[in-house]
Every structure is written in structure tokens, then in C-alpha cells.
Amino acid sequence: MLKNRLKKFTALLVALAMVLSLTACGGSPSPDNSTDSRPAPETTQDPDNGGEAFDGNDYIMLQQAMVDTTDIAAIAYLGWYEEYYDLYDYSQIQNFIADSLVAEDHPFIANIDADHFVPHIGGELFCIVPADENTTVSVYDYVFDYDNYTGDFGDLLYESDDGKPVIVMGNESEFIPNIIVEICDSEGNILDYIPCLSGKDGTLEVPDASYGPDGPTLLDFTPYEKLGYVTEGNYGYAEFDPAVLYYGENWTSFVDTINDDTVAVGFWFDEYGNMEMCYEVYGGEGYEVYYEGSWYPAEDSAYPDSTLIFELELVEDTSDIQIARPEIYTAMSFEYDEMFETVFMTYEDYDYLLDVESHYYYSLEQAMG
């Protein structure tokens, strides 16, 4: 639950800066794969489906898309698996993947077997599809040096050379990764890649043509449009999309009340419309109020397009000061500041989230659980 993930969320943590490093193995320069002669993989064809791959083997189409390119593999972000501490119950993880929006577009992901699953501590799930059957994928523990803000290879966790897709799970912290993937193709091209999400918009950080003309690169096949990611807006803001909320993981806001108290409020949202909220008095004894509920887009044209409806029910109230409502129904509009990674949440129609608020808005900052 959110209250367990946030722990003492009144103490905001400063995000550590992380720089992706693209290196070549053995200290040798990365070979130029701009003239890659990778052969096209054979495709199982279905005459009733336009000749495309079928029976859940659509990763073959991804491999075909990488022919004659600098892409050494394809990758997609599958979501955050909350029960990640049960690392070896792959059947439950496989069910989670099968229900994901990414698997709707790429059903092969739900059929990847346990021999091609790499469990590590953390809940971020990634799918890696090698460019062809001659590509080797090795996954290592990524050891981070907190004193010098640098990292290096640790123990080898997994290695395969059969060219089949791999599911990798790791990154307990959204700021400090703990996995690094080494991908080597038949031409001798090597890419050392740290799977992680951008702190700017929640999309994958991947080496592409902007990193240099010689590659190697990765093909990102995460269906961002289907997942509803942010698009660029005016004046440094983005046109708000709920994906900002649920890919930002946990959020914290500090709300002034008419009693001159400051209440720290924590939020968590997921892409399926579920949400949680809890709060406590900042600097107080740490009493806690906890809600569960749902969010969904408002259909009332009188509200701004970015308005969401919150429906919440009180689950727990251990406070001495009674400022919690048993039920909450409220409409909130949103604006997202990309530069400062802040969501401004403003009441359009309400129950207040707290009984004694003195403002009509919240400033949500990302919080590390």
C-alpha cells in the first residue's frame, strides 16, 4: 500500500543525478555497424493475416524492423510490479505482464518462459528483443558507488545467445538503477545499457541516432501513444495526461490548513484507474489517514479537458484531529511543469481532500518510496 511505500514521506529525498554510459567491451572502440548486413529472420506467415507473424510470435516482426539498421535490440517498458520482493514466483509476474497494455499490442511478451526471465531486486519490468538469433544478451548487477556517483558491473545474473526475448526486472529505486545489460551481435557490435526511465516524462532512456551516427542503438517499442504519454505544450508546460501521474510513481504535496498546520499528503496512481492517498501533519507525531479509491477522466464539458474525478473511501484514521472525510468525490484539473517535474492540481468541483484546507490547489512533487 501507499502508506508502506512512502514510509515517512514528509522527508523528501533529493533525486540523484545519473548519467547513462555507452561503452565498448574490452576497451576497444565500438565497431561501426552503419553497414550492418544482418540477415532478415524467417517469418512464420499467416495467409489470413496479411502475411504477418502470428500465434504470439510478433517479436519476429520487431526483428525484421531492425534489419539494415544500427539497432542491436528492441526494448519496451512493461510497468511496475508491486510484489517484486517475491522474485521467483514468475507465474504471478507473467499474469501481470499478460494484463499490461503493452502485451495487448505484443502478445508474445505474455508467452516468454521462466528460462528467459531475469529477476533482481526492484519492480520495473523491461522486455528486450535481440535483433537476431546470433545476438547475446548478458544481464549484470549494477553496483552503484554513492560516494562518487558512479557505477560498475557486478555479478553476472543471466546470459543467453538464442536470440529469444528476455524479461528483466529490477531497479528498486527510480533514481539509482541496479541492472546493466550487455548486448553483443554477430558483427562484434557491443552496447552496455542501463534500463531506466526518464525523469522528465517517464519514457525509456535509450541510445538512438541522437547519440551518434555509428550506433549501436536500441529500438524502443513501448506504445507511448496508447499508454497516453505527455505531449509538448506551450510555455514550458506539457499538455497534461494522466500518464504523468502513474509513471511518476509516488507524489507528495504539502498543504496549509486554516489552523496553520501543514499537512503532508501522499498520492499514488496506476494506469488502471486505481489510486491511494494518505496524509499526516508535517513535523507532528506522524499520525496517518489512509484512503483508497479510483480516478477517471471527467466528462463534464464545463471542466477543463485535463480534469479527473477522484472517488475515495476512508480506510484508516488514527489521528487525534478529525479532518478526514469518510468519502470523497472531487474534480481536479491538472497542469504539468516539465522543467520542475511538478503537477499543479486545482479544484474544479469538490469535496476538499482535507476538511480544513486554506488553498484551492496542490503542488505535487515526485517522491521516492
SS3 annotation, 191-212: EEECCCECCCCCCECCCCHHHC
Q: Looking at residue 327, what is its pLDDT?
A: 92
pLDDT at position 49 over 50: no
Residues 277 and 291: their CA atoms lie apart, in Å, by: 5
- Dihedral sign, CA of 138, 90, 87, 193? positive
Residues 43 and 54: their CA atoms lie apart, in Å, by: 9
Q: How far lies 358's CA from each of 259, 303, 362, in Å?
A: 9, 22, 11
Order the strands of the 124-130 sheet from edge to edge: 117-119, 166-170, 124-130, 71-80, 217-220
Shortest CA distance to 280 belongs to which of 266, 267, 295, 268? 266
pLDDT band at 197 (very low <50, low <70, confident <90, very high): confident
Q: Looking at residue 151, what is its pLDDT?
A: 84
Highest mean pLDDT among 39-48, 198-207, 217-226, 304-313: 304-313
Shortest CA distance to 139 belongs to which of 182, 106, 189, 176? 182
Q: How far lies 151's CA from each of 135, 143, 146, 183, 286, in Å?
A: 25, 5, 9, 18, 36
Q: Looking at residue 360, what is its pLDDT?
A: 77
Q: Looking at residue 312, what is its pLDDT?
A: 95
pLDDT at position 94 over 80: yes
Q: Which region among 16-25, 118-127, 230-239 has the lowest average model confidence (pLDDT)?
A: 16-25
Question: 205 with 196: CB under 8 angstroms?
Answer: yes
pTM listed for this prediction = 0.54
pLDDT band at 31 (very low <50, low <70, confident <90, very high): very low
Q: Looking at residue 217, what is its pLDDT?
A: 92
Q: Looking at residue 195, what is its pLDDT?
A: 93
Which 8-state DSSP code applies to residue 357?
A: B
pLDDT at position 101 over 60: yes
Residues 167 and 107: their CA atoms lie apart, in Å, by: 13
Q: How far lies 251's CA from each of 237, 340, 341, in Å?
A: 18, 13, 11
∠ CA 283-284-287, rounded to 5°: 130
Q: What is the pLDDT of residues 128-154, one digit of tens each?
A: 999 999 999 999 999 988 777 788 999
pLDDT band at 2 (very low <50, low <70, confident <90, very high): low
Proportion of the chain in helix, strand, coil states, percent, rounded to 5 = 15, 35, 50
The pair phi, psi for residue 144, each rounded to 5°, is: -100, 130
CB under 8 Å to 115, separation ≥6 — which residues? none
Q: Which three cell numbers stand for residue 267?
A: 498520492
C-beta contacts of 254-262 below 8 A and 24+ residues apart = 254/282, 254/363, 255/279, 255/353, 255/354, 255/357, 255/359, 255/362, 256/357, 256/358, 256/359, 257/323, 257/354, 257/356, 257/357, 257/358, 258/356, 258/357, 258/358, 259/356, 261/356
Question: 239 with 231: CB under 8 angstroms?
Answer: yes
Q: Which three cell numbers stand for residue 290?
A: 489512509
Q: Which region among 34-43, 233-242, 280-289, 308-317 has the lowest average model confidence (pLDDT)?
A: 34-43
